[in-house]
Structure 1
Amino acid sequence: MRLLLINILLLISIQMRSQTDLGIGLVSIHFDDKTVLEFYSDTLSKESDRIIEFFDDKNINSWNIKGLDKQKEWLKPEVFWLDYYAFTFRCLTNSDNWFEIIVNNETEKSYWLKNTHSTEFKNWEEYLKDMFSVERHPSFPQQIRTEPTDNSQKLKYQGTDCFVVKSMNGDWIEITTPEYCDENFTDSKTAIKSGWIKWRKGNELMINYFTTS
């Protein structure tokens, strides 16, 4: 039940941020209790504008950020799920030494973050292929198609959406039904071996994605 509630909150958060610039990909933070992130207004700044520090919070038996209540006033990233080491930002620019990231998906405020051993960049295809599952966004009804085109044949599908991403072609992603999805959703009457749906429309996500079950 707890995982279900967390996924619902994560889903609502993703839906609220769907019109924020998708950028070129995402930057995930691999943190521990010694990780300190410094956010700069530009790459020539000598001093950072914001700093966050992670720690192992024994009171909640999980990871946390120092002064989190205050930090949340400006910090609203793509994924904020410290229990599962999920702390991810949309990325606007990727250079050898710096990332320009969106730190607030509601205001689209961006900062520059140094490229270090704690940061990992993935384009949207790589990132979505790592997700536990994806589903079609209810606000963007669409058919599953045999090819990544609007006029290709529709695939018949009945049941709850639960797919993983195989590949990407522009605005389209190729999906399939993994065994664990077929087992978890007993009302699913159709397994998709290979089908195509749109994952974006401009800067709007046409899918929901889930980092874990």
Structure 2
Amino acid sequence: MKKLFKPASLLFSLLSLVVFFLIGMLYAGWIDAGKGQGLAGGAIVLGWGVIFALIAFVVSFFLTYRIVHKKIIVLNWVLFALLLAGYGIIHYNYVQREKSKEKNDIPPMEKPNAPSKTTDPASMLTSFNTVKEEKKLSPQNMESITGMGFFSPDFYENQVLYFYSEPNLEKPIQEHAVYDSITFRQNQHRQFEIATAPPWLVPDIMKLDYDMLYFKISSVSDEWVEIVVNAQNGQTAYISKYAGNVVYWPDFLLSVNSVEFLPGSEEKVRARPFSASGIIRTPYEFMKPFKIKEDWAEVFLLDGGFQRVGKGWIQWKKGDKLLVQFNLLS
């Protein structure tokens, strides 16, 4: 038993715990264990690391008890080398992901507006309506609220989004001919990007390094969604309703990180949902919607640390005019 408590034996158990925790996480990433699981994906990957670590920790006690002390010292050096290699791989992947995000923040050249029935390479396509401030999305073409909300393709399950032109809504999708499409692929960092797309494609919001791709909805039916595929000229196309998620304006606003009034706006935070109501004068930095009632939204007022300091009502639209801009990211 004394052999188990020698410094080399204790170090062997500790290194086994740490090294196999990293190996478990890398293995989970390799088999896409957290793919398509949203926020739960990180916990799933972490769980794989914990399972590998616990098994290795238990096995290390049996090994230190059965093998000679000199071999334990050799194994410690092997585990230390694996630890350095694992750290190097994780650090390299992190650096490459950051470079990829910076690259995707570069504004693209404007796409031509003429329709085409062929798809062109678009692997470098990035957001057309992203403001320059990092991690802040306030689409520039959102002054008008024309549309019912947004459609977000599920590219985890459907790596092709098919476009249809003026379908017969009484017939099933299978009886219609596709006239164009977007194809998605994963890059070396396992992030989705657009592989091919029509040259006229201009989404309302696109930030694929954060899994964000939104098209404004013009109409919906049982099996179809008509979306705006070019936010610059209003061109629309039909897609299958089952190819992604339909998010109506109230649900969309409830999902954003924060909202703020448009630059130069004279809108105020009110005590109640009507214009003649008293003004809330509590100092705040951000507004987070938590209730939508027709043209009004009840918001939490947040300080610079995103802590609640109060609440009130804001008018988020008037007729077909959007009165706020929204931040999808922190």
Shift of 1:135: 1.2
Q: Distance in 1 between matches of 2:195 and 2:257?
A: 29
Within 5 A, what are the aligned runs for 1:61-210?
62-67=191-196, 71=198, 73-116=199-242, 118-160=243-285, 162-177=286-301, 182-183=304-305, 191-193=309-311, 195-210=312-327
Q: Match for 1:6: what amino acid?
A: E
Aligned counterparts, 1:12-23, within 5 A: 14=139, 16-23=140-147
1:148 match: secondary structure: coil
Q: Which has the larger radius of gyration?
A: 2
Q: Residues 26 and 121 of structure 1 are in contact (CA less than 8 Å); yes or no, is this contact kept in structure 2? A: yes
The farther-off stretch of 133-142 and 17-26 is 17-26
Distance 1:177 1:20, change over 3 A: closer
Deviations 1:129-173 (A, max 9, x none): 11111111114321100111110111103343x121111122111
* CA gap 1:47/1:26 in 2 versus in 1, 3 angstroms: same
Change (3 A) 1:153 1:34: closer
Q: Contact (CA 8 Å) 2:191, 2:209: kept in 1 or not?
A: yes
Residue 212 (structure 1) aligns with: 329
Q: CA deviation at 1:62?
A: 3.0
**Alignment-mate amino acid for residue 75 of structure 1:** L
In the alignment, what sits opposite 2:134?
6
Q: TM-score, normalised by structure 1?
A: 0.81
C-alpha distance in structure 1 between counterparts of 2:246 and 2:288, whole Å: 20
How far apart are the structure 1 equivalents of 2:237 and 2:315? 29
Counterpart contact for 1:56–1:62, Cα < 8 Å: yes
* Alpha-carbon distance in 1 for matches of 2:145, 2:257: 23
Gaps of 5+ in 2: 1-97, 106-131, 169-174
1:50-105 deviation line (CA, Å, top 9, x unaligned): 211000122x763211235xx4x422222101111111111121212000111122
Alpha-carbon distance between aligned partners in 1 of 2:193 and 2:212, rounded to the nearest angstrom: 12
Q: Does residue 51 in structure 1 map to residue 181 in structure 2?
A: yes
Specify whether residues 50 and 96 from structure 1 end up closer, same or farther in structure 2 by C-alpha distance, changes over 3 A only. Answer: same
Residue number among 165, 171, 176 corresponding to 1:41 in the alignment: 165
If asked which structure has higher relative contact order (CA below 8 Å, sep 6+), I would say: 1
* Structure 1 residue matching 2:209: 3-state secondary structure: helix
Q: Equivalent residue of 1:125, what SS?
A: helix
Structure 1 CA distance for aligned equivalents of residues 291 and 225 of structure 2: 25
Q: Which amino acid in the other structure matches residue 90 of structure 1? A: K
3-state SS in 1 of match to 2:251: helix
| Contact 2:149–2:246 (8 Å) recurs in 1 | yes
Percent of counterpart pairs with the same letter? 24
Deviates more, 1:143-152 or 1:42-51: 42-51
Q: Whole-Å Cα distance in 2 between the matches of residues 148 and 46 of structure 1? A: 46
**Aligned-partner SS, 1:5:** coil
| CA-based RMSD | 2.6
Aligned length: 196
5+ residue gaps, structure 1:
none
Partners of 2:238 and 2:226 in 1: CA distance: 4
Determine if contact 1:29/1:119 at 8 Å carries over to the other structure.
yes
Cα gap change, 1:6 to 1:125, in 2 (>3 Å): same
Q: Which has the higher helix share?
A: 2
Partner amino acid, structure 1, of 2:258:
S
2-side partners of 1:34 and 1:169: how far apart?
34
Rounded to whole Å, the distance in 2 between the matches of 1:196 and 1:92 is: 28
- SS of the aligned residue for 1:145 comes to coil
AA of the residue aligned to 2:154: H
